[in-house]
């Protein structure tokens, strides 16, 4: 199964907008259309910690709903949360991440045979 990071892979990412705090920026993503629509069963592994806004965006914007959604409710460092999630779900064979630093971290600490791809990688 393929898993995707949410922001920067499925949902356009806002990282900084002058005069807006993180919660306001997250709420602004509710109006954004997906970058693409997955066509096969998939999972989402996101570093987001706001379950309600995250689930609302997924339910309103993705035609094919994910089989699994992993949300960082414990507020761990995103790269640690994603690595732990991948390590505990060996059925995930591919993971696409948007952040180069997180990609590097996950590749270093992944304990399964999961291929970790950065969205900017070229095959």
Residue 123 within a domain: no
Which residues is 94 bridged to in the sheet?
Answer: 2, 115
Q: Which helix (H) or strand (E) holds 97?
A: strand 94-97
User: Mean pLDDT per segment of 10 residues, for the chain of length 123 residues?
Assistant: 95 83 86 94 94 94 96 94 96 94 94 86 63
pLDDT at 38: 96
Four-point Cα dihedral 68, 106, 83, 31, nearest 10:
-40
Is the Cβ–Cβ distance between 94 and 2 less than 8 Å?
yes
Residue 62 within a domain: yes
pLDDT tens-place string over residues 58-86: 999 999 999 999 999 999 999 999 999 99
Residue 89 within a domain: yes
Residue 23 within a domain: yes
Provide the domain count of the chain: 1
Question: Is the alpha carbon torsion for 54, 75, 89, 118 positive or negative?
Answer: positive
Is the Cβ–Cβ distance between 32 and 11 less than 8 Å?
yes
Give me the domain span that covers residue 89. Answer: 2-118
pLDDT at 17: 80
Residue 103 within a domain: yes
């Amino acid at each position: 199964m393929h898993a995707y990071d949410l922001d920067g892979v499925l949902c356009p990412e806002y990282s900084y907008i002058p005069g807006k705090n993180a919660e306001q920026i997250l709420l602004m993503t509710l109006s954004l259309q997906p970058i693409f629509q997955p066509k096969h069963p998939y999972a989402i592994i996101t570093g987001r910690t706001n379950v309600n806004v995250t689930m609302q965006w997924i339910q309103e914007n993705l035609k094919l709903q994910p089989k699994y959604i992993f949300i960082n409710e414990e507020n761990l460092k995103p790269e640690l949360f994603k690595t732990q999630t991948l390590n505990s779900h060996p059925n995930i064979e591919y993971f696409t991440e948007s952040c180069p630093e997180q990609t590097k971290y996950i590749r270093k600490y992944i304990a399964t045979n999961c291929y970790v791809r950065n969205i900017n990688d070229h095959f």
